Every structure is written in C-alpha cells, then in structure tokens.
Structure 1
Amino acid sequence: MDPAARLVRSLRSLIDDERVLDAIAAVPRELFVPPHLLDRAYDDAALPIGRGQTISQPLIVARMLELLELGPDDRVLDVGTGSGWHAALLAQLAAHVWTIERHPDLSGWAQRNLAAAGIGGDAVTVIAGDGSRGLPEAAPFDAINVAAAAWDLPTALEQQLAPGGRLVAPVGGDGQQLVLVQRSADGAALRRTGLEAVRFVPLVEGEP
C-alpha cells in the first residue's frame, strides 16, 4: 500500500467525511514538506518547515476540514498558509481559497508548492500579510480556517463570516483548544463551541 493510502486508512476510523479523506488522498503531501523530510511526508505528525512554523498533523487538519462542512460553492479564508498543504486541501472542497501567510518567503514557497500540485490562482489566492486582520476586501467568507493559535479569536475574523458561515481555530496559550464558531443563517448571532485539545504555533498579529 502506498504511503498516502496508508495515511487515509489510518484516518478513516476517526474522520467521517469521505470528501475530506478523498482530498487528502488527492493532494501529494510530499510536495509540501522540506526536501530533508520527504521520508516523513505521510507520517501522522506535524513537521517543521522553517521560520518556527509547521505543516500540521494530518489528523488535526482532517478534523478541521470536517468541522468546516465545506460546499463546492464556498469562499474560504485560510489564515497561516505555511507550506500551502492546508490551502491545497481546502481548494479540493470549496470554490476558492484566499490564504494569508505573514512570512513572505514561506508565502512564495507555498505558491510554488501549489503550482507543483497543479493548483493555480483560479483556485487559491496566496497573500503575504497579517492574517489576524483577515481580508476585508474579499469578505464575507463562508468558511475561515485558522492554522495558528491566538489567546482569543481576533474579532476581525469573526466579523468576516458570512451568514451561515463557519470558523475553526485553535485558541489558548499552553492549553489550546479547537474552537468552532458558527454564524446564524440570518447573520445576527455567533455561537462558539469548544472542542478537543490541540497544539499549534502561535498566531502573531501585526504586519510582517
């Protein structure tokens, strides 16, 4: 069994959404890890990618994708591009992804990785900037994925959720927790649900 299929099989007992599993099977993770870690590309583990950042653990990424309940017409904001793998998976499930990375060198690398995976600008827009501010010029978003932990969710991100929109993010300091935010269909209310414990790199606010 090839490594990608083996990874998907290991996730199947924990992830119910087959579309998420299909996306993980379709996107070659080896294109999104540093060359010296190619032999670990399909480990169910976070891997360092430089600048103090990581490519997140596949199980946690799959869980976040499942929580977002993405549809083929959804517009998605991805905060914390890293190597681009999470954005690539989001692009398999939604109409368009805007992904923001504060480190310009990582942003450029992610764009090259996405291109190598056959994912172009018609599917993913890569931006270097402060993800904690969101992207007001492209808002509102049907879904927002945050791949770095803040002490509390930036208000700007919640404000950019469309009616019926979903946001998933790690929240907290030493004791991080995955949080799902759902905006009501009429847009008037937000509901927060705390979920399982996780560990992510911190979300850094302010311009790079």
Structure 2
Amino acid sequence: MRKYEDSYRHKGLRRKLVETIRAKGITDEKVLAAIENIPRHYFLESAFEDVAYEDRAFPIGEGQTISQPYTVAYQTQLLEVKPFQKVLEIGTGSVYQASVLAEMGVQVFTIERQKKLFDQNKKFAYLRKYPNIKFFYGDGFEGLPTYGPFDRVIITAAAPFVPQKLIDQMKPGGIMVIPVDAGEYQIMKRLIKQADGSVVEEAYDRFSFVPMLVGKND
C-alpha cells in the first residue's frame, strides 16, 4: 500500500503554486487556501510526485486527467460556494476538484461514469478526511434528481450543450459552471437560475477539457 507523506517541501511547492494561480487572476482567498491545504501529489501516481505542483493537467487513466490547478481554482471561484451548500459535480475524475470544494465546507455529490475510476476512489484513504463527499457511479447527463435540488452544479468535462436535466435540479438562485463546446476549446459559462426557472448566461475564458460523454462505462 502506498505511504502518503506531506513534507515541508511539498507544502513549500504548494505555496508557490498558489502564488502562480494568484498571479493569473484568482482572487478568492478561500479557494486559494483550499488549494494550499490539499496535497495534490496524493491524487497522482507516485511517478508524478516531483511535478505534482506544476500548474498543469496530468493523466490519471481511463483517458481522463486531473485538471490544471488554475482551472480548478477558476471554476471554483465562479461557483461562489458558501459553507453547507449542496454541490453537484459531474465528472469525479481524480477527486481533486471535489476535495477543494469539500475543503471549503460544502456537501459534494459527485458522479463518475468510469467504473474503474469510481472503484479506485473508494479505496483512496485520504478521502476519509472528507465525509462531506458522496460518490455516485452514473451518467452525468442525468444528474441526481433524488438528491436535489442543488445550490451549485459544476461540470468538469467539455459539454456539447447545457443539459436541461441539470438545470432542472438546481434551486432558484443556483449557479452552474460548465465548459461548453464539442471543439478543441470550450467557453467557460456560468448559468444563474432565476425564480421563474429561466437562466441568465455569462461567458468567460476558453479552456480545454476531456469530453463529457453519455452513459456509464463498465
């Protein structure tokens, strides 16, 4: 079994990473503090340990990646979460994004469509620190209607369109952050649900995500 160690060196590298992200325009101190508190190297294969605090994405298997820390911070900042809110995450992946949210004190309901990744995450001992993350194996396009409505929804894959079922599972006043487009790059969008069920849409920067796919993959 892998032995996890979070050394002074790791903590120093995290501080540098946070300064890098801050310099790129992330201003939410709660987001930056969460990233500084979480040992990102735990979420990667030990072979990647020396580069775990570079501001870039890395492969985690099953054609998926652990997102670039700046991207995680950017999406989290747009979400504007408050403690105890219910957040639906589509695309668990490495659980790094979910852990950042959990560190900020919200209830995370996260869906993964890759069975192998879902099973791996159940064995990840560090995650015992976050009983406020609930894991589900399923189709992200369907969401979790029985657990809604949600205060926030975050999609961590390139969506070809905004799924109406996920809008329906948001509370009035709820916020969704979603990268939309099937091309090489996606526009990061923030959708704010109004009291009458309509949505106000805001467009932000371009990013590149792995595609959001329909169904489950056993």
Q: TM-score, normalised by structure 1?
A: 0.94
Q: TM-score, normalised by structure 2?
A: 0.89
Aligned to 1:163: 172
Aligned to 2:115: 104
Structure 1 stretches lacking a partner, 5+ long:
none
Shift of 1:188: 2.8
Aligned to 2:136: 127
Quick check: which has more Rg, 1 or 2? 2
Q: 1:60 aligns with which of 60, 68, 71?
A: 71
Q: 1:11 aligns with which of 11, 21, 44?
A: 21
Secondary structure of 1:100's counterpart equals strand
Residue by residue over 1:4-50, the C-alpha shift from the partner in whole angstroms, topping out at 9 and shown as x without a partner, is 11101111131110000000011110111122211121110010001
Aligned to 1:82: 93
Aligned to 2:41: 30
Shift of 1:73: 2.1
Tell me the distance in 2 between the aligned counterparts of 1:72 and 1:18.
14
CA RMSD of aligned residues (A): 1.4
Tell me the distance in 2 between the aligned counterparts of 1:15 and 1:64.
10
Count of residue correspondences: 205
Shift of 1:94: 3.6
Secondary structure of 2:205's counterpart equals strand
Shift of 1:118: 4.2
Query: Does the CA-based 8 Å contact 2:115-2:216 persist in structure 1?
Result: no
Tell me the distance in 2 between the aligned counterparts of 1:144 and 1:16.
21
Structure 2 stretches lacking a partner, 5+ long:
1-8
Task: Spell out the pairing of 1:109-188 with structure 2 (5 A cutoff).
Answer: 109-113=120-124, 115-120=125-130, 122-174=131-183, 175-184=185-194, 186-188=195-197
Q: Kindly provide the amino acid, as one letter, of the partner of residue 34 in structure 1.
A: E
Aligned to 2:61: 50
